Amino acid sequence: MMSSKVIHALYNDDEVVLEAVKKVKAANHHIEEVFCPFPVHGLDKAMGLAPTRIAIASFFYGLTGLSIAIWLTWYTMIDNWPQDIGGKPSFSWGENMPAFVPIMFELTVFFAAHLMVITFYMRSRIWPFKKAENPDPRTTDDHFLMEVPVHGDEEELTALLKETGAVEINVVEVEDAH
């Protein structure tokens, strides 16, 4: 295993960290990660992250839920156990569809929401009982941490981070898993 250095720059304001990310990226430094206590609007664009495709997945998950709802209402109310409800016997799904709209809506939302959460956890590699990867517990309360690998002049990078408004800068040795 090889070890390398990263700099943890701590900030205490979301607007300051957003501007700092822009300045560090403009100076051609790679930002490994930014840890925040809450979402910061525009941080993903400032870091140059690709847009997420979870909305596309959500659409297909919703279609899956809608398809299952249509099949379920047809199977239970038309095919398997047709009933004369309120004196209105209608044994076709199309004529009964308005009564099935709440079921179709609820299953569409149920499938989209639950499968999106599962997809998010799998993509983020957040498993039950996984050890937290947060380098500083203050980022869950009121601080923002920018993690920048040191590739070159450590003093120049530290000076740049101080210039961007960092309240604390720590150089940390990390073990590479390669």
CA nearest 34: which of 14, 57, 53, 51? 14
Which pLDDT does position 177 carry in this prediction?
A: 56
Which pLDDT does position 124 carry in this prediction?
A: 86
Q: How far is Cα 161 from Cα 147, in angstroms, rounded to an integer?
A: 11
Which pLDDT does position 42 carry in this prediction?
A: 94
Domain residue extents for the chain: 3-50+134-175, 54-123
The pLDDT averaged over each successive group of 10 residues in the chain (178 residues) is 81 95 94 94 93 93 98 91 74 86 97 96 87 88 94 88 94 74
For the domain 3-50+134-175, what is the CATH superfamily, name and number?
ACT-like. Chain A, domain 2 (3.30.70.1150)
Which pLDDT does position 166 carry in this prediction?
A: 93
Which pLDDT does position 99 carry in this prediction?
A: 86
User: Measured in Å, how far apart are the chain's first and last C-alpha atoms?
Assistant: 6
Q: What is the pTM of this model?
A: 0.71
How far is the CA of 103 from the CAs of 75, 97, 108, in angstroms?
Answer: 13, 10, 8
Q: How far is Cα 72 from Cα 17, in angstroms, rounded to an integer?
A: 50
CA nearest 9: which of 178, 173, 166? 166
Q: Which amino acid is at 67?
A: S
Which pLDDT does position 134 carry in this prediction?
A: 86
Which pLDDT does position 86 carry in this prediction?
A: 72
